[in-house]
A and B are shown apart, each in its own frame.
Chain A
C-alpha cells in the first residue's frame, strides 16, 4: 500500500514538473487517466435516513479524445434501525462503462466537458434483519433473519459535467438513473438499499455523485480530440467542420484527428 502511494506521489511530482516546465509558446494537450473520489458518499449519512457509510473511487481514461471508458468501485454499509425491525446491509460494488463528450473541446487547453454515459454494475453484499417485532390480538413475536450473502446487477444511464478547476484537478457531478436487472431473492426481505444502487424501494432509483478528480498527464499531443459524430442527414453546401487543429491552444478550433498519445 505504501509503495503504491509513493508511486502515485512520484508520478504527481513528475507530471507537475512536466506541465510547469513548458514554455508559453510550447502548448501541449495533456491527457491521461483520471482518478477521483466521490464526495457524495460522505454526505449520504447526513442526508438520508438510516446510518449509511461508504466510499467510492472513480476513474476514467480518454479514448479517441471524446470517449472515456470508466471504472468505479466502492463500498457501502447501512444500519437502519426502526421501531419494529433493525436492518443491516454491507457490501462492495463495481461499475464499468463509458462516457461520451457531448460537445467539442474548444482549445488544446480545454478539458471541460458535458457527457452522457452508461454503466453496468455488480454488487456483492450481505444483509441481516434483527428484532423484527410484530403484535396483534394474540400476542407479540420477536424474530431475526440471519446474515445472508446476496448479489445484484444493474444498468445506469449517466448525465454529468466535469470541469478542470486547476491544472489536472477536476470537479464534476453526475445524475444517474438506474435499472435493477437482477438481485438474489430472499424469502423474508427484499433488500431496499443495495450498495452501488441505493434505495430500490421506490420506482427507478436515481442517484447523484459529486467528485474531485486528478488527471495524470501522462500523454501529450498537439492535436485536438476528434468530437463524436452524431447521426443525421448531410446538407449540401454546409461545411460540417474542417481539420483546423489549433496548435497554439487559443481560439475556437474545430475537430481534427485524434491525438496520438
Chain B
C-alpha cells in the first residue's frame, strides 16, 4: 500500500507537471472589416487608403489597383482617440471619412494578453461618400472572420463625384 502511495504520487506529479506550453494561439489584431460600393454601373479601378495626417512612406493601409467592389479590407482603429480618420482615394478622387467609436481593452488569454474592443457609433465624411452603413458595430479580434461575406461597415460612394 505504501508503495502505491509513493509510486502514485510520483506518477501524478509527472502528469501534473505537463502543460500545454506558453504560446499565444489567439488573434489579438482588432481590425474593422470594410467593403465599398458605388451606385450605377461604375467600378472602383483604384483604391488607396491612408490614415488622416499619415502620408509618409509606409503609412498606406490599402493600395489596390484592381476592382475593389468585390473585396473587403481590414482597417485599424485608433487606440487613444474616440474617432479614427481615413483618407480614401478612389478613381483619382480623394475623400475623408471619420468613424466615431468607443474603445476598451479586453483580455484574450494569459499568453496573448489584451486586445482592443470597439463599438462603432457613427460616421461623418466628405461629399464624395454618399453614405456609410454600419452592419456590425462591434469590432473585436474575431471581426476579421466576417470577411469575405460580411463586414463591419460598407462605404457607398457617390457616383456623381467619381
Contacts of B114 in A (CB 8 A): 84-85, 132, 134, 188-189
A112 and B2: CB pair below 8 A? yes
Give A82 to B84 CA distance when docked, in angstroms.
Answer: 29
Chain B residues with CB under 8 Å of chain A are: 1-2, 4-6, 8-9, 12-13, 15-17, 19-20, 22, 29-30, 51, 54, 61, 76-81, 84, 104-107, 109-111, 113-116
For residue B17, which residues in chain A have a CB less than 8 angstroms away from its CB?
Answer: 47
- In the complex, the answer to whether B105 meets A188 with C-beta atoms within 8 Å is yes
**B105→A208 contact, CB < 8 A:** no
Please indicate the chain A residues that have their CB under 8 angstroms from the CB of B115 in the complex: 134
Size of interface on A: residues with Cβ below 8 Å to B: 43
- Does A165 sit at the interface, judged by CB under 8 A? yes
Within the assembled complex, what's the spacing in Å between the Cα atoms of A73 and B4? 27
Nearest-CB distance from A255 to chain B (Å)? 18
* 26 cross-chain CB contacts under 8 A: A47-B17, A112-B5, A132-B105, A132-B113, A132-B114, A133-B113, A134-B79, A134-B105, A135-B79, A136-B29, A136-B30, A136-B76, A138-B51, A138-B76, A141-B79, A171-B2, A172-B5, A172-B9, A188-B106, A188-B114, A201-B110, A208-B15, A208-B16, A210-B9, A210-B12, A210-B13
How many A-B pairs have beta carbons closer than 8 Å: the answer is 103
A163 B76 Cβ-Cβ under 8 A: no
Chain B positions within 8 Å of A136 at CB level:
29-30, 76, 79, 116
- Contact A49 B116, beta carbon cutoff 8 Å: no
Q: Is A206 on the interface with B (CB-CB < 8 A)?
A: yes
Whether A141 and B80, one on each chain, are in contact in the complex, defined by CB atoms closer than 8 angstroms, is yes
A148 part of interface (Cβ distance < 8 Å): no
Interface of A is mostly: strand
- The reply to whether A138 and B77 contact each other, CB–CB distance below 8 Å, is yes
Q: Is A137 an interface residue (CB 8 A)?
A: yes
- B22/A49 in contact, CB under 8 A: yes
Interface residues of A (CB under 8 A from B): 40, 43, 47-49, 80, 82-85, 87, 112, 132-141, 143, 161-165, 171-173, 175, 187-190, 192, 201-202, 206-208, 210
Shortest distance between the CB of A75 and any CB in chain B (Å): 20
| Residue in chain A with minimal CB distance to B2 | A163
Q: Which residues of A contact B107 (CB under 8 A)?
A: 188-190, 192
Chain A, residue nearest B29 (CB): A136
Closest to A47 in B: B17
- Are B104 and A187 touching (Cβ within 8 A)? yes
Chain A neighbourhood of B113, CB < 8 A: 82-85, 132-133
Interchain CB contact under 8 A, A175 and B20: no
Among A87, A138, A187, A192, residue most surrounded by chain B Cβ atoms (within 10 Å): A138
* Distance of A125 from chain B, by nearest CB (Å): 16
Given contacts A82-B110, A161-B5, A163-B5, 19 further A-B contacts (CB under 8 A): A83-B113, A85-B113, A112-B5, A132-B113, A134-B79, A134-B114, A134-B115, A136-B116, A163-B2, A163-B4, A171-B9, A188-B105, A188-B114, A189-B114, A192-B109, A201-B110, A208-B12, A208-B13, A210-B13
